[in-house]
Amino acid sequence: MIQLGVNIDHVATVRQARLGDEPDPVRAAHEAELGGADGITVHLREDRRHIQDRDVRLLRQMVKVKLNLEMAATDEMVEIARDVRPHTAMLVPEGREEITTEGGLDVAGQVSRMKDVVAKLKSGGMIVSAFIDPDRAQVEAAARAGFDVCEVHTGPYAHAFADHGGDFRRQALVCALSDVAEAGETIRGAGMRFNAGHALNYHNVDAIAGLPGIEELHIGHAIVSRAIYTGLREAVSEMKRLMTIASIPADT
């Protein structure tokens, strides 16, 4: 069954706006678990703009489901990951000026470096994932570097969905979805797990959740935004329900 990893970075963003102690992302993780989350995702950035070291360490102790640590492929982050030992370490690109991660990791341009980082993380007992664009060259490079998982960047699909009002008769939207699906086939063919995420929401998630062989979606902003109105537990539960329905083949 398809799984949902809930990204709680934006809970920490609200906390850091006042440099206080609430809302606490550790408590948010508990609410997400009660809502049915299969995993909790956080991104410990170099500039610590939202998630803090304290959060990662407490989450590793408290989370009862999978903990996925998004991280840049830097020596500092590798050492933190090897110390904390999240269940999954996901390598992502990181820019100081971006609000959130934009674009996939260029594995193809740094295969040798990625092999070294992946090996160090795996030796620490972690499953290692690459956040990549839906591009065959990046998938093939990820396989050569030894990644266990590829998470396909769904931002282009989400933007096409918004631009065309979710009308799948529009070729641009069909192509964007096809790009994700084809990347997924290549990922699975290379023996890696096929995950996806970025800019998915309650309106556009169905088509992605219904792709063959997809194992897990990571969703944050849409869920935290919905939680302002409904509460985090209910927001997670509703997203999980939509994903599960979409992932069940029509002929069953």
b/e per residue, 148-172, with b = 16+ CB within 10 A?
bbbbbbbbbbbebbeebeeeeeeee
What is the spatial distance between Cα 155 and Cα 214, in angstroms, rounded to a whole number? 16
Distances (CA, A) of 143 to 111, 114, 139: 10, 11, 6
Instruction: Say which of 31, 70, 94, 151 is annotated catalytic.
Output: 70
Compute and round to an integer the Cα radius of gyration of the chain: 17
Instruction: Say which of 30, 50, 198, 218 is annotated catalytic.
Output: 198
Closest by CA position to 2, among listed 54, 37, 45, 40: 37
What is the spatial distance between Cα 2 and Cα 34, in angstroms, rounded to a whole number? 17
Instruction: Say which of 30, 43, 50, 153 is annotated catalytic.
Output: 43
What is the spatial distance between Cα 206 and Cα 66, in angstroms, rounded to a whole number? 23
50 is catalytic: no
Spatial contact of 201 and 158, defined as CB atoms under 8 Å apart: yes
94 is catalytic: no
Spatial contact of 152 and 132, defined as CB atoms under 8 Å apart: yes
Determine the length of the chain: 252
70 is catalytic: yes
What is the spatial distance between Cα 142 and Cα 145, in angstroms, rounded to a whole number? 5
Which residues are known catalytic residues? 43, 70, 198
